[in-house]
Amino acid sequence: MNAPTPHRTSPARPRSLGRARAVPVPSTPLLARALPHVDWSDAYAVPVPRGSSASALEWADLIFHSPPAWVRGLFVAREALAGIAGIERGGSHVFETVSWRPGEVLLGTDQAHLAFRASVLVEADRVVVSTVVQVRQRRGRAYSALIGPVHPIVVRGAMARARRRVALETPRDPAPATPSLPSICHHVHTT
């Protein structure tokens, strides 16, 4: 008879730790006037790593300018297919900063087929990325239908990677130093 294999225990960790979750689109001054008309929108949030002081601009740079390799691959494919479909290519200007205020940055572009804005909002306990889109023509509707199922996967993947990078760059609090105890040894002097 075989002895039971001991199982290893590890600290409990929620599976969703660091994953982006769908949330309601927040009401912010930048989003309120981002586009004249919004055809569709969504928002996702990740928890801010403990001790992080990363700004909205730093989060936006990590999310939109340093995405995972598989997201960069999708953008390369999108650029190739855009030319074939007669849709304006994105290029490097797609995720330019449109506006900002403390705690929030708004990125986006206006193209013939659609306009979009992405807000990166840093709150005390979470970072929220919201996307608002205005479809402008038939090609824009077709493009939205095509990217609609992929968009949440891309945004969530880029946010999760950004969160991991921020967590790695956040200094850890050193272990609290043990206070030195006063010496309790007394010398007995005899006279």
Please compute the mean of the pLDDT values over residues 48-60 and round it to a whole number: 94
Class of domain 35-169: alpha beta
Selection from 82-91, 130-139, 178-187 with the highest mean pLDDT: 130-139
Q: Which residues contact 47 (CB under 8 A, 6 or more apart)?
A: 17, 18, 125, 126, 163
- Select from 186, 162, 189, 176 the least CA-distant residue to 49: 162
* 49-72 exposure pattern, b = at least 16 Cβ within 10 A, e = fewer: beebebebebbbbbbbeebeeebe
Rounded CA separation 160/137 (Å): 33
Q: How many of the other CB atoms lie within 10 Å of CB of 92?
A: 7
End-to-end CA distance of the chain: 75
In residues, how long is the chain?
A: 191
Give the model's pLDDT for residue 10. 31
Q: Which residues contact 84 (CB under 8 A, 6 or more apart)?
A: none
Whether the predicted model's global pTM rises above the 0.85 cut: no
Contact in structure between 87 and 78 (CB atoms under 8 Å): no
Selection from 30-39, 143-152, 182-191 with the highest mean pLDDT: 30-39
Higher pLDDT, 132 or 184: 132
Cα separations (Å) of 92 from 104, 110, 178?
21, 13, 52
Whether the per-residue pLDDT at 185 is higher than 80: the answer is no
Q: At CB < 8 A and 24+ separation, what contacts does 2-11 make?
A: none
Reported as a single tens digit per residue, the pLDDT across 74-128 is 767 766 666 666 666 665 556 789 999 999 999 998 988 889 999 999 999 999 9
Q: Where are the domains of the chain?
A: 35-169
Instruction: Give the rounded percent of residues in the chain with a pLDDT score beyond 70.
Output: 71
